[in-house]
């Protein structure tokens, strides 16, 4: 079973899309392991997007991620990293096909509603960055044998 980190970014919260996005992942069969609503600090945003430091959009990206509250979620499931990335669509909302989250709700590159880890290694790092171990809840879903 894989775990992945999802962030519902400040535009998602301001546009009141939290429930719509969470519903998609629930319905897909991913199981909720951790969830928190928080105001990301500059320090946390810098660590989260360290890989993009030096790029032209870096400063603007940090300003955006710290511009308001966000929701951090850990989802678990079979192939969770790839499943979430597929459901998100492409980075640019304008190029994301209908049916994907960014394709259905956005047209911006930067304000693209959601972050999802892009590898199992980065997922582990990002989960560790946004959550303390005791904020992740292990349990046995009663429908596990049906969901796969
Ligand atoms: P993704 O979020 O699809 O994994 P990424 O990791 O390459 O994309 O970039 C992180 C975020 O940075 C992305 O969600 C939006 C922003 N970003 C990426 N490329 C950009 C660009 N060319 N101009 C403005 N913002 C950009
Ligand atoms: Mg990325």
Identify which of 72, 96, 73 has the alpha carbon closest to the alpha carbon of residue 86: 96
The answer to whether 89 touches 96, Cβ cutoff 8 Å, is yes
12-58 pLDDT, tens digit each: 999 999 999 999 999 999 999 999 999 999 999 999 999 999 999 99
Query: Alpha helix locations (H) across the chain?
Result: 10-14, 18-28, 42-48, 58-65, 80-88, 101-105, 120-130, 144-147
**70 found inside a domain:** yes
Ligand 1 lined by 92 (C-beta under 6 Å)? no
pLDDT band, residue 135 (cuts 50/70/90): very high
The answer to whether 130 touches 43, Cβ cutoff 8 Å, is no
12 CA distance to ligand 2 middle (Å): 17
Query: Is 48 an annotated catalytic residue?
Result: no
**148 found inside a domain:** no
Ligand 1 lined by 118 (C-beta under 6 Å)? yes
Identify the active-site residue in 87, 115, 116, 126.
Answer: 115
pLDDT number for residue 93: 98
Is the pLDDT at 148 greater than 90, yes or no? no
92-133 pLDDT, tens digit each: 999 999 999 999 999 999 999 999 999 999 999 999 999 999
CATH code assigned at 14: 3.30.70.141
Instruction: Give the count of domains, the chain.
Output: 1
């Amino acid at each position: 079973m894989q775990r992945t980190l999802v962030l519902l970014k400040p535009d998602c919260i301001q546009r009141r899309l939290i429930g719509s996005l969470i519903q998609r992942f629930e319905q897909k069969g991913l199981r909720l392991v951790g969830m928190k609503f928080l105001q990301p600090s500059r320090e946390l945003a810098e660590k989260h997007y360290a890989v993009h430091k030096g790029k032209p959009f870096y400063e603007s990206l940090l300003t955006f991620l710290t511009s308001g509250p966000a929701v951090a979620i850990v989802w678990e499931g079979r192939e969770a990293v790839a499943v979430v990335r597929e459901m998100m669509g492409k980075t640019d909302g304008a190029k994301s096909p209908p049916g994907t989250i960014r394709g259905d709700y956005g047209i911006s590159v930067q304000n693209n509603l959601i972050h999802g880890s892009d590898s199992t290694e980065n997922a582990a790092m990002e989960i560790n960055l946004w959550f303390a171990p005791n904020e992740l809840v292990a349990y046995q879903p009663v429908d596990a044998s049906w969901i796969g």
